[in-house]
Amino acid sequence: MSNKSYEVKESEKISSDIEGYLKEQEQKSFLRFITCGSVDDGKSTLIGRLLYDSKLIFEDQLAMLENDSKKDGTQGDDLDFALLVDGLAAEREQGITIDVAYRFFATDKRKFIVADTPGHEQYTRNMATGASSADLAVILIDARRGMLTQTRRHSYIVSLLGIRHVVVAINKMDLVDYSEDTYRKIEAEYNLFSESLNFLSITFVPMSALKGDNIMDSSTNMDWYKGQTLMTQLETIDVSKQTAGSPFRMPVQWVNRPNLDFRGFSGTIASGMIKPGDAVIALPSAKTSKVKSIVTFEGELDVAISDQAVTLTLEDEIDISRGDIITELEQRPETTDQFQAHVIWMDEQPMLPGRPYLIKTTNKTITGEVSELKHKVNVNSLEHEAGKVLALNEVGVCNFSLDDVIVFDPYQNVPATGSFIMIDKITNTTVAAGMIDFGLRRATNVHWQAVDVHKSARSEQKRQKPVVLWFTGLSASGKSTIANLIEKKLHFLGKHTYLLDGDNVRHGLNRDLGFVDADRVENIRRVGEVSKLMVDAGLIVLTAFISPFRAERRMVREMLGEHEFVEVFVDTPIEICEQRDPKGLYKKARNGEIKNFTGFDSPYENPEGAEIHLHMKNMSAETAADMIIAKIEEKYLLEK
Amino acid sequence: MKNLTHLQRLEAESIHIMREVAATCSNPVMLYSIGKDSSVMLHLAMKAFYPSKPPFPIMHVDTTWKFREMIAFREQFVKDNALELLVHINQDGVDMNISPFTHGSAVHTDVMKTQGLKQALDKYKFDVAFGGARRDEEKSRAKERIFSFRSAQHRWDPKNQRPELWNIYNNRIQKGESMRVFPLSNWTELDIWQYIHSENIPIVPLYLAKQRPVVKRDGMLVMVDDDRLPLKKGEVPEMKMVRFRTLGCYPLTGAIESNATTLTEIIQEMLLTKTSEREGRAIDKDSNASMEQKKQEGYF
């Protein structure tokens, strides 16, 4: 066996010339790849076999494997290689792969990191996790079953994530009597399917991971196959990306300021190369300068290339911070707050257009929403399908609208500056992977896309974020007074507002309603609906209603998006309210002339967890108004 | 244009991870165990932020049973590099006289290491802790994300990990929750040694072979590092040429007989050896999925 002699050669080299051996190791090339395909196509077995055949299983691990194979194995008396990789207790119990496992091995030609990814559809997100950092995919197909939905799904996701090289490993050939016919059929079917995918190279190999056919050594059982073994393909395929000619991009990750004399910008070069003296521009601020030095711990560099983590200093003192991208002057990335992207949805909760999510790019996190789901992609047929939401593991093409601009390249051109993840604002989980296709609303873009006028477009125009400031409290507690003051102040600041209170609602919209509980609830529901429309129009809405019940306040809160409802509890002791009594209502209530008066014969439920709680006993309305404006300023009132 | 070497790539990835934490997390800490992986991690931290110092403290959770040479090395290293070091010892465990001999390795490790770590994280309210673990060490580690989420109870949920795409890391947590971040995830044992070799990174001398007093116990060579080691009947410490592949609590860390007295000789020996490095650790052998279980309970 050739790998045996490799092992002997290695040992001799290590024993006789360790320094030379280490030098050689340093110069070895390197490949990151994934294994994917449907359940039971033999992915874990293949990796176990690769580790075993490249002598990376130590004696103690082998002893444990023999032990485990007897206990949990599915291969009778043979070693069950899958048990080497399926490391979680749940995986071993169920005999399936749940999450991606990373494994490391080397031959005399190359070092490898392989990600073994799960085949079950429900764990597709873990498969995508593994694929996002790989340069090549080995797609396994069980020769007995041929192409399955998961084969197509995984091939599509692999292509979508930008992996350009694929080895289709037609496995378990031992179970189809090493039939060339079976192999050719699958090969033809895959070729037909992959025509619409974006691969640079596709090669096929018939093999048996279990028996070792065409893994390290050419199989004697398949003389008809004249191609290379799987290992030879993995060792020789060239996946290098071009550095020369690629545009220079360095997203600023961290500003390096040890003292007043040094100001550097640290980041990992996403594309291209850079030398001292090169002219650069920082986007989106569009300030230009020249690179003064490339600083590293080892000293300054003459040149730095893609994937290196460096610190740049510039000739001019310009204001750059995390989120900016330093780039060359010629081929510049685009700046936009609206773009189209492909999205792989990874959460049990479906993706809802209009719901705000966090969008995290390489160095910036901002709020954004899907303004439109243009279509879904059927992973079987690759056809477009209409849809309103994206469910777990579905792929869709979406238009995005962000609260701020990002600097990007199309994912196809520069993956590192064209990718993003989506994060749920409440659960903080990663819910999607996104790959930007192109920017919208861009004069230079030949695919100019019409953008519907929607909430964020309207509010952006007003340089504010829409919100409802919901004042609640007893009659005469000061709700309307404070709300009035705030509206005046906001108006003075150039903000667009509207105040809803009993006076302008009870006389028109709600004049059919009285003061019994059911009417109070309906009153609030209608006010809530009107507020919602006004928020959609981009306005800052102030409402002043007693709104005594928690449930109704919660109802309105839930009608609106996250951060669009700010509850303000005007907490004035009832004695003070009764003293004020501007409309004489307390007096009438005490005399029994008014029924269902809040605080007397109708309850007031104090808010729990109001965003703002005003203790009005010792505070003036003016102070309260200023306090509220200060609180909302950063989030809702945008500069300029 | 010359391509980056394998080690240069690994180095850049680790630096990227550390900078990401420094730029986006409010209160990170780097856990330092004095071992070779920690030494590499700390070296990378010095590089990542140069000319600044790493913008986070270094913390050692001391079980009080570390080799004396490890503690001496720690003190010297911190002094030489002018770093801020926090040392945490689980005082409850000390008060209860927890020892690996009377309570067994499992209880000792849980109280002094796992509970000690949780205490320290809670005490200083660290939201992110860097650890030097590698995916090639053990099967459940091979499954773990680089940014690994922990609940408010410090638990790892292996069946429900966040997807981790590209090098865009989701480090968002609620109050009380935390992240363990593993910048060396993609390094192998050989990569670590090669890097130590090419970068001249100082390591604890215990990794190199020397005449040391040991006793053979349960198939393991235990070094008599101080007089707390209760000798059983018939046990007489013998001087042997030994070294350690991993370093931890001395009663739980088995020595191997070796003549490798230089760095290249250890690498040579490691490459020719037939057992994995965790074999020397009593703690990993308790049960098959023992590491996964310990990690779920909050072990690093």
* pLDDT tens-digit series, residues A453-506: 788 888 888 888 899 999 999 999 999 999 999 999 998 888 899 999 877 888
Please give the tally of structural domains in chain B.
2
Give the span between the Cα atoms of A72 and A85, in whole angstroms: 13
Quickly state the pLDDT bin for B205 (edges 50, 70, 90).
very high
Residues A494 and A437 in one domain: no
> Residue B299: what pLDDT?
67
User: Which whole number is the average pLDDT over A244-266?
Assistant: 93
Residue indicated by tokens 């609106």: A560
The pLDDT mean for chain B works out to 88
Residue A149 has pLDDT above 50, yes or no: yes
Residue A11 has pLDDT above 80, yes or no: no
| Residue B161 phi, psi (nearest 5) | -85, 150
Domain containing residue A520: CATH number? 3.40.50.300
| Residue A321 phi, psi (nearest 5) | -140, 175
Residues 472-491 of A with CB under 8 A from B: none
Residue B1 has pLDDT above 90, yes or no: no
* A contact test, residue of B139, B148, B159, B268 with most A CBs within 10 A: B139
**CA–CA min distance B278, chain A (Å):** 10
**CA–CA min distance B72, chain A (Å):** 26
Beta-bridged to residue A510, according to DSSP, are none
Structural domain includes residue A495: yes
**Spatial CB neighbours of B265, under 8 Å, sequence gap ≥ 6:** A18, B209, B259
Q: Omega before A284 cis (within 30°)?
A: yes
Chain B positions in Cβ-Cβ contact with residue A347 (cut-off 8 Å): none
Give the span between the Cα atoms of A432 and B163, in whole angstroms: 8
Chain A positions in Cβ-Cβ contact with residue B274 (cut-off 8 Å): 58-59
Residues B60 and B166 in one domain: yes
> Residue A452: what pLDDT?
65
**CA–CA min distance A550, chain B (Å):** 25
Residue B58 has pLDDT above 90, yes or no: yes
Helix (H) or strand (E) holding B12: helix B6-24
β-pair type (A304-305, A273-274): antiparallel
Chain B positions in Cβ-Cβ contact with residue A11 (cut-off 8 Å): 272
Query: In the structure encoding, which two tokens stand for residue A188, read together?
Result: 């033809």
Contact A430 B162 (CB under 8 A): yes
User: Which whole number is the average pLDDT over A254-276?
Assistant: 95
Give the span between the Cα atoms of A206 and A188, in whole angstroms: 13
Residue B88 lies in domain: 6-192+289-296
| Count of alpha carbons within 13 angstroms of residue A304, beta-carbon side | 30
> Residue A391: what pLDDT?
93
Q: Which residue, B65, B69, B57, is CA-closest to B29?
A: B57
CB count, 10 Å around CB of A240? 8
Quickly state the pLDDT bin for A446 (edges 50, 70, 90).
very low
Residues B179 and B53 in one domain: yes
Chain A positions in Cβ-Cβ contact with residue B1 (cut-off 8 Å): 243-244, 273, 305
Residues A94 and A216 in one domain: yes
Structural domain includes residue B197: no
User: Is residue A224 less than 8 Å (CB to CB) from chain B?
Assistant: no
Quickly state the pLDDT bin for B285 (edges 50, 70, 90).
very low
The percentage of residues in chain A with a pLDDT greater than 70, rounded to a whole number, is 92
**Spatial CB neighbours of A244, under 8 Å, sequence gap ≥ 6:** A273, B1
Give the span between the Cα atoms of A187 and A166, in whole angstroms: 13
Q: Is A467 helix (H, G, I), strand (E, B) or coil?
A: strand
Contact A18 B274 (CB under 8 A): no
Tell me if A578 sits within 8 A of A597, measured CB to CB: no
Residue bearing the bigger pLDDT, B46 or A388: B46
Give the span between the Cα atoms of A279 and A269, in whole angstroms: 16
Residues A340 and A414 in one domain: yes
DSSP state of A616: G
Quickly state the pLDDT bin for A302 (edges 50, 70, 90).
very high
Residues A517 and A383 in one domain: no
The pLDDT mean for chain A works out to 87
Residue in A with minimal Cα distance to B149: A429
Quickly state the pLDDT bin for A450 (edges 50, 70, 90).
very low
User: Does A285 qualify as catalytic in the annotation?
Assistant: no
Residue in B with minimal Cα distance to A431: B163
β-pair type (A110-116, A136-142): unpaired
Give the span between the Cα atoms of B123 and B115, in whole angstroms: 12
Quickly state the pLDDT bin for A52 (edges 50, 70, 90).
confident
Measured CA to CA in angstroms, residue A306 lies from A321, A608, B4, B146 at distances of 21, 52, 9, 22
Give the span between the Cα atoms of A205 and A187, in whole angstroms: 9
Give the span between the Cα atoms of A184 and A176, in whole angstroms: 13
> Residue A6: what pLDDT?
56
> Residue B288: what pLDDT?
47
Residue bearing the bigger pLDDT, A294 or A603: A294
The amino acid at residue A463 is R
Residue B52 has pLDDT above 90, yes or no: yes
Helix (H) or strand (E) holding A357: strand A357-360
Residues B175 and B102 in one domain: yes
Q: Which residue, A593, A590, A592, A569, is CA-closest to A581?
A: A590
Contact A85 B142 (CB under 8 A): yes
Give the span between the Cα atoms of A318 and B191, in whole angstroms: 39
CA angle B171, B177, B178 (to 5 degrees): 50
Q: Which residue, A470, A452, A455, is CA-closest to A538?
A: A455
User: Which whole number is the average pLDDT over A241-253?
Assistant: 86
Residue A447 has pLDDT above 90, yes or no: no
DSSP state of A186: H
Residues A324 and A394 in one domain: no
Contact A28 B6 (CB under 8 A): yes
Q: How many residues does the structure list for chain A?
A: 640
> Residue A640: what pLDDT?
46
The amino acid at residue A37 is G
Which one from A132, A547, A602, A620 is the annotated catalytic residue?
A547
> Residue B280: what pLDDT?
54
Residue A53 has pLDDT above 80, yes or no: no
DSSP state of A248: P
β-pair type (B238-243, B256-257): antiparallel
Residue A197 has pLDDT above 80, yes or no: yes
> Residue A593: what pLDDT?
84
Query: In the structure encoding, which two tokens stand for residue A15, read together?
Result: 């024993």
Give the span between the Cα atoms of A313 and A296, in whole angstroms: 11
Please give the tally of structural domains in chain A.
4
Residue A288 has pLDDT above 80, yes or no: yes
Structural domain includes residue B198: no
User: Which whole number is the average pLDDT over A184-188?
Assistant: 96
Residues B103 and B169 in one domain: yes
Domain containing residue A419: CATH number? 2.40.30.10
User: Which whole number is the average pLDDT over B90-114?
Assistant: 86
> Residue A243: what pLDDT?
67
Residues A53 and A197 in one domain: yes
> Residue A449: what pLDDT?
40
β-pair type (A419-423, A365-377): unpaired
**Spatial CB neighbours of A388, under 8 Å, sequence gap ≥ 6:** A353, A373
> Residue B278: what pLDDT?
53
> Residue A381: what pLDDT?
82
| Count of alpha carbons within 13 angstroms of residue A553, beta-carbon side | 26
> Residue B287: what pLDDT?
45
Residue in A with minimal Cα distance to B271: A14
Q: Is A622 helix (H, G, I), strand (E, B) or coil?
A: helix
Tell me if B212 sits within 8 A of B255, measured CB to CB: yes
Residues A185 and A60 in one domain: yes
Please, what sign has the CA dihedral across residues A14, A17, A22, A28? Answer: negative
Q: What angle in degrees, to the nearest 10, is found between the helix axes of A18-27 and A2-16?
A: 120
Structural domain includes residue B1: no
Residue B284 has pLDDT above 70, yes or no: no
Residue A224 lies in domain: 2-236
Structural domain includes residue A584: yes
Residues B115 and B263 in one domain: no
Kindly report which listed range (A24-28, A400-404, A586-590) carries the lowest average pLDDT score: A24-28
Domain containing residue B16: CATH number? 3.40.50.620
Measured CA to CA in angstroms, residue A377 lies from A120, A341, A369, A395 at distances of 19, 13, 20, 6
Residue A420 has pLDDT above 80, yes or no: yes
Chain B positions in Cβ-Cβ contact with residue A100 (cut-off 8 Å): 143
Contact A273 B1 (CB under 8 A): yes
Residues B185 and B207 in one domain: no
**Spatial CB neighbours of A364, under 8 Å, sequence gap ≥ 6:** A322, A323, A406
> Residue A20: what pLDDT?
85
Residues B186 and B209 in one domain: no
Residues A120 and A11 in one domain: yes
Kindly report which listed range (A278-282, A510-514, B222-226) carries the lowest average pLDDT score: A510-514
Residue A441 has pLDDT above 70, yes or no: no
Quickly state the pLDDT bin for A594 (edges 50, 70, 90).
confident
Measured CA to CA in angstroms, residue B265 lies from A18, B73, B268 at distances of 8, 21, 5
